[in-house]
Amino acid sequence: MIDRVAPRAISSLQNETVKLIRSLDMRKARRETGLFVAEGASVLLTARDCGWAPRMLVSGPDAPASTAFAALRAWAAASAADHLDVTAAVLEKIAAKENPQSLIGVFEQRWAALPVVDTDQARQSVWVALEEIRDPGNLGTIIRTADAAGVAGIILVGNTCDPYSREAVRASMGSVFAVPIARADHAGFVTTARSWPGDVVGTHLRGTRDYREANYDRPVLLVMGNEGAGLSDALSEVCNELVRIPMIGRLDSLNLAVATALMLFEIQRPILRSSRA
Ligand code: SAM
């Protein structure tokens, strides 16, 4: 039986657990195992604070210098996680190429159910639907922004990039642990949108209303289009309003994550109050 408290010292790149963690860079392996990787002490502390439990904790030679190390180690032990203490050479292969971290966690993916608006709290909520989002950096940034804006959850519609890819997790800065993420095909999303009791607001370059003039009756379902093709006709039709963010300049649109941020902070404006105000 593995001693779950004492870390396992690992120096071989041929170790099966090391090979498994490396394979999680590939979407196919993430899909088959249901696992994903998150890096860095502050991201792991966010995971802990959001009630997640790691399946594995990997620490490199520099990890003990981190003030968070003891806390994360205790969390891993309490979660009966496998703790691997790896050499610098192994860590180099497991950690990100850019800004590698000496503490890495492996987690089970969580997928939320599509929202059911049946409580007072749910009737006040804001959800964001992202149609066919392709760029994991955009997705991670949107997850982070949704967390900051107090969004109840995100729905990934159709064939989207993976929120549990390393790039999306990194761009979310740990918010992937805080924001429920659901997924739906187009038909499933259309069913949800048609029975939505509040405003279903689409963003479209041909939107007829300035986004600052819409009402946003809660619960709000905000629908954002694909980076290249924009919002499809099928999803535009289920929106009871299409809004546009007015622009000056030569380009026809904003980056998807920027447009989502503008929309969310406008929708949430009535409830967002500066603590210094
Ligand atoms: N060529 C695409 C089109 O025709 O819609 C541009 C897509 S844009 C990069 C990605 C998404 O961001 C859009 O589908 C929309 O949801 C949102 N978006 C970007 N700029 C916008 C704007 N000025 N007004 C409303 N939505 C915008």
Q: How far is CA 253 from each of CA 35, 139, 238, 256, 259, rounded to the nearest angstrom?
A: 35, 17, 22, 8, 9
Ligand 1 near 225 CB (within 6 A): yes
Ligand 1 near 68 CB (within 6 A): no
Each residue of 128-137: b (16+ CB within 10 Å) or e? bbbbbbebbe
- Reduced to 3 states (helix: H, G, I; strand: E, B; else coil), residue 99 is coil
Q: Which domains does the chain have, with CATH numbers?
A: 9-108 (3.30.1330.30), 122-274 (3.40.1280.10)
Ligand 1 near 224 CB (within 6 A): yes
Ligand 1 near 4 CB (within 6 A): no
Counting every residue written for the chain, the total comes to: 277
Rounded average pLDDT over 245-265: 97
Centre of ligand 1 to C-alpha 204, Å, is 6
List the residue whose alpha carbon is closest to atom 12 of ligand 1: 256
Rounded average pLDDT over 238-258: 97
Whether the per-residue pLDDT at 163 is higher than 70: the answer is yes
Give 206's pLDDT tier (boundaries 50, 70, 90).
very high
Task: Give the least confident one: 26-40, 43-57, 141-155, 261-275.
Answer: 261-275
Residue percentage of the chain with pLDDT more than 70? 97
Strands 103-108 and 56-59: antiparallel
* pTM of the predicted protein model: 0.95
CA distance 201 to 117: 16
What tens digit of pLDDT does each residue of 131-149 get? 999 999 999 999 999 999 9
CA distance 24 to 166: 9
What tens digit of pLDDT does each residue of 46-101 get? 999 999 999 999 999 998 888 899 999 999 999 999 999 999 999 999 998 888 88
Ligand 1 near 209 CB (within 6 A): no
Centre of ligand 1 to C-alpha 167, Å, is 22
Ligand 1 near 244 CB (within 6 A): yes
Contacts of 84 (CB under 8 A, 6+ apart): 7, 8, 10, 17, 18, 56, 57, 58, 59
Which ligand 1 atom sits nearest the alpha carbon of residue 202? 16
Q: Which of 132, 138, 160, 203 to mutate to test ligand 1, by most ligand atoms within 8 A of the CB atom?
A: 203
Q: What is the CA radius of gyration of the chain?
A: 21
Which ligand 1 atom sits nearest the alpha carbon of residue 253? 20
List the residue whose alpha carbon is closest to atom 4 of ligand 1: 230
CA distance 141 to 260: 10
Ligand 1 near 202 CB (within 6 A): no
Spatial contact of 77 and 54, defined as CB atoms under 8 Å apart? no
Whether the per-residue pLDDT at 4 is higher than 80: the answer is no
Centre of ligand 1 to C-alpha 226, Å, is 8
Mean pLDDT for the chain overall: 95
